A and B are shown apart, each in its own frame.
Chain A
Amino acid sequence: PFFASNTTLVAYFFGKEIWDSGAGLVAAILIAVCPGYISRSVAGSYDNEGVAIFALLFTFYVFVKAVNTGSLAWSLASAFGYFYMVFYFLDWVKHMLSDTKLFQAFLRITVTSAVAVGGIALGLGMVSGYISPWTGRFYSLLDPTYAKDHIPIIASVSEHQPTAWSSFMFDFHILLFLFPAGLYFCFKRLSDATIFIVMYGLTSMYFAGVMVRLILVATPAVCLISAIAVSATVKNLTVLLRSKNKVVQTGSTKGSGGSKSSSKALLDQSQPFQKNGAIALLFGAFYLLSRYATHCTWVTSEAYSSPSIVLAARGAHGNRVIFDDYREAYFWLRQNTPQDAKVMSWWDYGYQITAMGNRTVIVDNNTWNNTHIATVGRAMSSYEDEAIEIIRSLDVDYVLVVFGGVTGYSSDDINKFLWMVRIGGGVFPVIKEPDYLVNGEYRVDKGAAPKMLNCLMYKLCYYRFGEMMTEYGKPPGYDRARGVEIGNKDVKLEHLEEAFTTSNWIVRIYRVKPPNNRW
């Protein structure tokens, strides 16, 4: 939050640099409440992106300032912020060397030598294998279909999905109208600074369209450009308001009939309701901005302020119901398992188990080792006999799954299961996604694929669920998250036994049985 307030300050100065102080003020206000930025700077969801956006905006501001003033001090300051040192230096040189020919020669030499040296270094690096070309996450920005086909673990993160219109609307509201208008104003008054902000705005909007998470990066640009639109429009309207007063004064001092040719009179001669119209439009503008503020505060309170470890829902009578199952399970692990127990779960819960359960996990949110995660995915998608081999080879003591069938919680492991299949299948071709689908459809009811009905994840989630009454008027074993009655109610486990199930069945923990004694 400290850095977020600094971002607001920098936005003001940046807006002042690009357009004028009015735009700066509006930009600061817009970015202060914009949900796109709040999502990463609010307490609880605070990530290093909160600081990164401040650094980004600060660097761009200093860069534009350097371009505009041409002073060496600003140039050096911006070089500290980022690695665009060459551009800054070149710009200073441009201002220092008033002789354009000399500058052009200098530029040509510098650029060719820099490109040549860089190209040779890059080529050597890639040939020798030192630099691998474009890691997957960034390559998927240029070719969005890449992750879907080649790297399922990147494609599975919900924040890496491409953006739908409603995500834009949710995070930006009226800024989506003001952005194209602001672009128009920037085109009207072209300068180095406005060109820069237009480039930043357009490229960041494209990337925000490719990946939801990058709406955060687009937020400063959108706020600034929208601020330009607001400031320019309000200025136009207030000019209308002010000019009428001046005409009245000149009319009274010079006498009637003498001020027709004055440019300011041009306005009110033909349109007597100009002033009222301008006032009405100003009210309209303020109404829109107030709706924006209301929207932003609602979004922040509803979507970006809830803890993700304690779940809340509305009961039948509108009362709030709290599900604290996650912490219940993690504290059970902490208190009822041996200190050196190892827990296998999907990687989403790794950090939570480590921090709150104080036990070793097999895979956690640091998803750098894809093969390891694929091994866990393979274990979860195999039949119990094959899975137990993998589980024993990993020396696992407890298996943890998240199940939403009783509460209707939809972010459970059964809904994430296809990603486990895809990631496991990406490394171990023995796991094939079509085996778990019926006509391309993912089902868990009677018509589901046989492999689905007997895989480890299904068994662990639905063990003893067949006798459970979850909803009035529905048969036992009705899965409220999928909305169907499950297909295989008679689940028997051979190598695992149930250790703990939380009060709302959200987290289920199983103990790995030691192998049978052999005679």
Chain B
Amino acid sequence: MTVFSLVLLTYFMVVSGFVYDVIVEPPGIGSTQDPATGAVRPVVFLPGRVNGQYIIEGLSSGFMFVLGGIGIVLLDLALDKNRARSVKVSYAIAGISSVVIAYVMTTLFIRIKIPGYLRN
């Protein structure tokens, strides 16, 4: 169990672009100036390219991936016969909702990041 959680932690770090953050040292979050008012607005997703990121967007996407993975694990645990019924039901609900949320959020993120996603 401990090994698996360590593995998950490493996976989270790799997939959220930790190495990219260490080498390229992007800002935690980007900023743009509103042309009309001159106020500074934060920009979460680095626009324009697939191979760049800000730190926070990397971490949140990595969290979504791990959440989806945990959701599937929960689903498997829910089908385990040796647990009480209420635990199984709650695992099943948590698992399904995790996968759904993770998938929806990830699709949303990638659609924000790549404006022409799934459009010819």
Contact = CB atoms under 8 A, between A and B. Distances in A.
Nearest to A298: B118
A164 B23 CA distance: 11
Contact of B72 (A202, A229, A266, A294): A229
B53 A166 contact: yes
A229 B70 CA distance: 12
A183 B73 CA distance: 10
Interface string A166-185: 11111000101111110111
A181 B69 contact: yes
Interface residues of A, number: 52
B51 A177 contact: no
A417 B62 CA distance: 33
A288 B104 CA distance: 11
Interface string B109-120: 110011011101
B76 A232 contact: yes
B48 to A, nearest CB: 9
Contact of A205 (B8, B11, B16, B79): B11
Interface stretch (A96-104, A206-214, A368-376, A444-452): A206-214
Nearest to B70: A180
B94 interface: no
Given A178-B72, A187-B4, A236-B79, A169 B61 contact: yes
Given A180-B70, A206-B14, A162 B23 contact: yes
Contact of B20 (A164, A169, A205): A164
Contacts of B91: none
B22 interface: yes
B85 interface: yes
Nearest to A277: B92
A484 to B, nearest CB: 16
B65 A183 contact: no
Nearest to B89: A271
Nearest to A212: B51
A202 B68 contact: no
B50 interface: yes
A173 B107 CA distance: 9
A202 B69 contact: no
Interface in A221-251: 229, 232-233, 236-237, 239-240
Nearest to A218: B14
Nearest to A229: B72
Contact of A295 (B72, B102, B118): B118
Interface centre among B4, B10, B14, B18 (most CB of A within 10 A): B14
Contacts of B51: 158, 161, 163-164, 166-167, 212
Interface in A300-320: 301-302
Contacts, number: 144
Contacts of B65: 176-177, 180
Given A163-B17, A169-B106, A271-B89, A177 B7 contact: no
Contact of A163 (B10, B19, B76): B19
B17 A294 contact: no
A177 B4 contact: no
Interface-central residue, B3, B11, B58, by most chain A CB under 10 Å: B11
A144 interface: yes
Contact of A179 (B11, B76, B96): B11
A477 B77 CA distance: 65
Given A177-B65, A184-B73, A165 B81 contact: no
A148 interface: yes
A184 B22 CA distance: 28
Given A165-B61, A181-B69, A270-B85, A144 B22 contact: yes
A174 B104 CA distance: 11
A281 B99 CA distance: 11
A145 interface: yes
Given A145-B22, A162-B20, A270-B85, A206 B10 contact: yes
Nearest to B110: A169
Given A181-B72, A233-B76, A295-B118, A166 B50 contact: yes
Nearest to A206: B14
A177 B68 CA distance: 5
15 contacts: A161-B20, A162-B19, A164-B51, A164-B53, A166-B110, A169-B109, A170-B114, A179-B69, A180-B69, A184-B76, A209-B18, A212-B51, A237-B79, A271-B89, A301-B120
Interface of B: 3-4, 7-8, 10-11, 14-20, 22-24, 50-53, 57-58, 61-62, 65-66, 68-73, 75-76, 79, 81, 85, 89, 92, 96, 99, 102-103, 106, 109-110, 113-114, 116-118, 120
Given A176-B15, A181-B76, 9 more contacts: A162-B22, A165-B53, A165-B62, A176-B68, A180-B7, A184-B73, A240-B79, A281-B96, A298-B117
